[in-house]
């Protein structure tokens, strides 16, 4: 049963509390810097409250937010302004464990097509078929990107395949 949402103050705060982290993390995976990810997150919630789409479940809201965030970030990355501006500061991640920080840094260094499927699969727990639906891609494409992304990460994190036994 699809229904339009009624935006009370409590409802808006609940939605922001429940989904702002996933929208921010998704935007950060694309944009790789906090200010742009924060701007994108704000834009996504403005869009949600402005167009007031119908949702059938919490999963539907989450899927919609991830899809809209992905598309918004892709548009941001294509903008002429972004292509002419270079970031002056490095990404600093508030992760205490050195290995985990290195893994996240390596995920962030992947090309966007691998980075996003790795993030959605491992960090958000989506299946390859769900990721395909979210990103409007075919499932075999997503599986190939997962495989190639894993291979690149393995090479970066182990320093190559020389240390493996055959």
Distances (CA, A) of 125 to 15, 41, 98, 114, 142: 20, 20, 23, 15, 14
Place of tokens 């892709």: 74
> Does the predicted TM-score (pTM) go above 0.75?
no
Q: Which domains does the chain have, with CATH numbers?
A: 1-92 (1.10.1740.10), 95-166 (1.10.10.10)
Q: What is the pLDDT along the chain (166 residues), one digit of tens a residue?
A: 455 556 677 878 888 899 999 999 999 988 888 888 999 999 999 998 888 888 888 888 899 999 999 999 988 888 756 554 544 344 555 666 677 777 877 888 888 889 889 988 988 889 999 999 888 899 999 999 999 999 998 888 886 544 444 4
In angstroms, the CA 61 to CA 12 distance is 13
């Amino acid at each position: 049963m699809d229904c339009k949402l009624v935006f009370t103050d409590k409802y808006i705060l609940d939605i922001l509390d429940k989904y702002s982290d996933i929208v921010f993390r998704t935007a950060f995976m694309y944009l790789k810097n906090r200010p742009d990810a924060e701007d994108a997150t704000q834009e996504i919630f403005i869009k949600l409250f402005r167009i007031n789409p119908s949702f059938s479940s919490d999963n539907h809201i989450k899927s919609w937010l991830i899809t809209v965030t992905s598309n918004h970030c892709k548009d941001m990355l294509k903008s002429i302004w972004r292509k002419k501006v270079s970031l002056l500061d490095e990404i600093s991640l508030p992760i205490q464990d050195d290995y985990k920080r290195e893994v996240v840094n390596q995920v962030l260094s992947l090309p966007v097509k691998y980075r996003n499927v790795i993030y959605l699969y491992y960090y958000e727990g989506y299946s390859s078929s769900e990721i395909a639906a979210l990103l409007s891609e075919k499932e075999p494409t997503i599986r190939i990107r997962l495989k190639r992304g894993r291979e690149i990460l393995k090479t970066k994190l182990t320093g190559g395949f020389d240390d493996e036994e055959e």
